[in-house]
Amino acid sequence: MLKTIVSTDRAPLAIGPYSQAVRVGDLVFCSGQIAIDPATGEIVSGGIEAQTERVMANLEAVLLAAGATWQDVVRTTIYLVDLGDFAVVNRIYGHVVGSMAPARATVQVAALPKGAAVEIDAIAHVGASK
């Protein structure tokens, strides 16, 4: 099966040896996104709410570059430095993904790159017609 690298300048460039996303057949595997503003290369200010909004926007940009939308997402993982932020992240995430929410896991981690408070990755099924 053909492996295609997905890249967009509407999301932060990878900060290591990985791709923003990889498409294999009908599946798109999006790398975790943190709250880096693609215009500045810096983590956004404004706390967990602003970081979560930026993460969701970054993921959406990668999904769109792969020919997908949030409606195509079948699985996500949310990584939080502080599970105390869960309610805020969950509210913003739920608003973005809508009623057809994907399967999901949420875990607390010791730290994230660049001091981020939240990271989210995603897997989407885009189908052969997209």
Residue position matching structure tokens 């492996």: 3
Q: pTM of whole model > 0.85?
A: yes
pLDDT at 129 over 90: no
Strands (E), the chain: 3-6, 21-24, 27-33, 73-80, 103-108, 118-125
pLDDT of amino acid 128 = 62
pLDDT-derived band at 1, boundaries 50, 70, 90? confident
Domains of the chain: 3-125 (3.30.1330.40)
Q: How do residues 30-86 score in pLDDT, each as one tens digit?
A: 999 999 999 999 999 999 999 999 999 999 999 999 999 999 999 999 999 999 999
pLDDT of residue 18: 96
H helices of 6-115, in order, are 47-65, 86-97
